[in-house]
Amino acid sequence: MVDTTEIAATGQAHEAIHCLTIPLHEETVLLPNAAIAEIVGYMKPKSIEGNPDWFLGNVSWRDTQVPLISFEAISGKEVATAKKNSRIAVLNTLNGNTKVPYLGILSQGIPSIALVQEEGIEEPSEQESRIAVGATINVGGVEVLIPDIDELEQQLQGLKM
């Protein structure tokens, strides 16, 4: 697991975007705070047969059923399983879809706060094209994935939930 407690670009804080880093098994996701509804403790999802492995099931959050995904698996890596420190990052979806207003990403640890500035962002020389990954960037020397929330929402819409 990647330690992301110190991801921050240098410069003035008033010009920075407030983000959270979400640790995965061998990678890290970076999202702006506005995309995240809440970070909650891990709860076992209610699985639903006939869905892809990356769909872990639904969890109950604020009287709403939220689909929980393994971001690693949907983006082409192995399915992640919950660990002792696992959390769920509940994300706001972007299209006002009443069927999928939120989605959850299984985090392999406690997300960390990050202040990110444009000057501190570098694009890797080669980017591997992966489903549900909008971009891969280096921030403060750490490679992070930016999820494509629209793609995640579209992938969920075709499932039995």
Give the integer Cα–Cα distance in Å for 20 and 12: 18
What domains lie within the chain, and their CATH numbers? 13-157 (2.40.50.180)
Q: What is the DSSP string of 91-126?
A: EE-SS--SS-SEEEEEESS--EEEEE-GGGEE--SS
Q: 28: closest CA among 6, 1, 8, 54?
A: 1
**Measured distance CA(149)–CA(102) in Å, rounded:** 10
- Please tell me the distance from the alpha carbon of residue 20 to that of residue 114, in angstroms, as a whole number: 6
Which of 130, 127, 134, 129 is closest to 150 using CA atoms? 134
Q: What is the pLDDT of residue 94?
A: 83
pLDDT at residue 10 in the model: 44
Q: Tokens 């983000």 — which residue?
A: 19
Print pLDDT tens along the chain (161 aa): 444 444 544 444 457 899 999 999 999 999 999 999 999 999 999 999 999 999 999 999 999 999 999 999 999 999 988 999 999 999 999 887 788 999 999 999 999 999 998 888 888 877 788 999 999 999 988 899 999 999 999 999 888 77
